[in-house]
Amino acid sequence: MQKNSGFLSTFSSKTNTILESAGAISISLHPQSIPHYCDFQNTGYIVGEAPEQLTAMANSEELDPNFPPGLHLVSAFLAMEPSDSLISIARACGGGIVSENVQRFIWEQCINQAAAIGYAPYVRNFVKKLIFEVESTHGCVLDELYENYGYYMTSLKEDSLGRGKACKHISFLFTDGSLELSNCPKSRKFVVPLNCSLNMLEGDTGCSVWPSSLYLSEFILSFPDRFSNKTCFEVGSGVGLVGICLSHVKASKVVLSDGDLSTFANMKLNLGLNHISTRMDVLEKSDKELNLVKSDIGSNSEVQCIHLSWESAAEAELQEFMPDIVLGADVIYDPACLPHLVRVLATLLKQRQVTTQTRTSNCQEDIVNEGRAEEAENDEQAYVESTKTPVGYIACVIRNIDTFNCFLDLAEHADLTIRDITDTARPLKLLPYMSSYNPSCIRLFTVTSNC
């Protein structure tokens, strides 16, 4: 193949660069929370560098889409990671450069799979940067890449870039140390296709994949026994990722809720993409639209989707669910919504009432359990099990300390106890290829009711 150079010079040189920077922010919280620092470090591949371990692997064997680093490159592409991150992994695959062998792998395993993404502008921008990367190192660019880029340049309008929705495929990759988990697939990867918004600035935030939902999903997949055979209720379910993971670990029942109608419709679409069939079931006692969903993917989970507005949620309606576990990801963001959120959490987490006779007969047992709970208070999971009360798991990025402290104040007045368990219940790193995801700035809290 003859080396082609200067191809990009015939096209517009205008590029869009997104610069993200953040300093270390010291956050002082209430006594229940642990002061911490947010350190925005890339937890995946360093842009511009090739990890030595993966470079050695690339030099010694052919790329395999089922094993790193080839697996990471394909996973990053299907998850629509930033192009610079893909280029960084591609360099690692080629021992520091994007070799012809790596280009061929990208063409066969990524570009030819672009139909699964269904978003041509993303593929076009990636191919453009890939060609520029190879040319800048005086390498040989595959003819297929040139032809592919030329096709996109002539078929795509400039105003179509960065708009609409696309199907991201989030691949949770299980390593050797996690093979004993009951939910670990034989393929060692659990892939979740999600129809997502690509531009949060257009007000479609509920259809975006938020960092805390990724963290909470990793937590569920890392500790499946906490959720297996449990009734789980998620507030602000968004794209439905957390609920899909709950179904995967065989929660007995999963209730997903969201107050935005367009987000709610997109969530139902994502359940279908993950082979969770949907049928309509409107309850007579409520004018809200309900959808009862039965899983077809081997789990015994019953999944129920509810259009639920925190502001108008009736206490009697919420009390009927009586979940074992309540979950929420990035739901602490708007001070105006916090009183309604806390009311919903307090209602869902109220301890189940027992009869006077039962309470009396179990008095001695309660005293014993209370003692065990006190001993286990420093062990989060043991504490929850010893108290045998509903528990909430809230994952969030603390973007505004005043907003978070407002949440803590409201929770205290609602007789809710908040505990920071981030450092004692860390999930497995199941998204090693995802440089856009930074778990170090996410905090995980348990919420329990004192009532």
Confidence of residue 182 (pLDDT cuts 50, 70, 90): confident
Type of residue found at 297: I
The dihedral of CA 181, 185, 190, 193: what is its sign?
A: negative
| Residue-wise pLDDT tens digits, 9-29 | 333 332 232 223 333 333 333
Query: What is the spatial distance between Cα 391 and Cα 379, in angstroms, rounded to a whole number?
Result: 14
Superfamily for domain range 201-351+389-449: Vaccinia Virus protein VP39 (3.40.50.150)
Q: Taking 50 as the threshold, does the pLDDT of residue 392 lie above it?
A: yes
Two structure tokens written together for 162: 């960065």
In angstroms, rounded to a whole number, what is the distance separating the alpha carbons of residues 135 and 141?
A: 7
b (16+ CB within 10 A) / e for 303-333: bbbbbbebeebeeebbeebebbbbbbbbbbb
Residue 138 pLDDT exceeds 50: yes
Decide if 260 contacts 208 (C-beta within 8 A): no
Rounded-to-5 percentages of helix, strand, coil across the chain: 40, 15, 40
CA distance 188 to 89: 20
Task: Count CB-CB contacts under 10 A for residue 1.
Answer: 8
Q: 299 or 407: whose pLDDT is higher?
A: 407
The residue that leads in pLDDT, 378 or 153, is 153
Measured N-to-C along each axis, helices 70-78 and 100-109 cross at an angle, to the nearest 10 degrees, of 50
The average pLDDT across 336-347 equals: 97
Quick one: pLDDT at residue 49? 46
pLDDT over 80 (residue 353): no
pTM of the predicted protein model: 0.79
Which is nearest to 332 in space by CA: 170, 447, 196? Answer: 447
Say what the pLDDT of residue 379 is: 59
Q: How confident is the model at residue 85 (pLDDT cuts 50, 70, 90)?
A: very high
Sequence-distant (≥ 6) Cβ neighbours of residue 152 within 8 angstroms: 120, 123, 124, 127
DSSP string covering 128-189, please?
A: HHHHHHHHHTT-PPPHHHHHHHHHHHHH--GGGTT-SEEEEEEEEEP-GGGTTSTT--TTSE
Strands (E), 398-441: 416-420
H helix intervals, 330-400: 338-348, 356-361, 363-375, 380-387
Domain boundaries, the chain: 26-163, 201-351+389-449
Q: Among 267-271, 276-280, 333-337, 395-399, where is mean pLDDT lowest?
A: 276-280
Alpha carbons within 13 A on the beta-carbon side of 256 = 31
DSSP-assigned letter for residue 111: G
Q: Across residues 438-445, what is the average pLDDT? A: 97
Report pLDDT for 294: 42
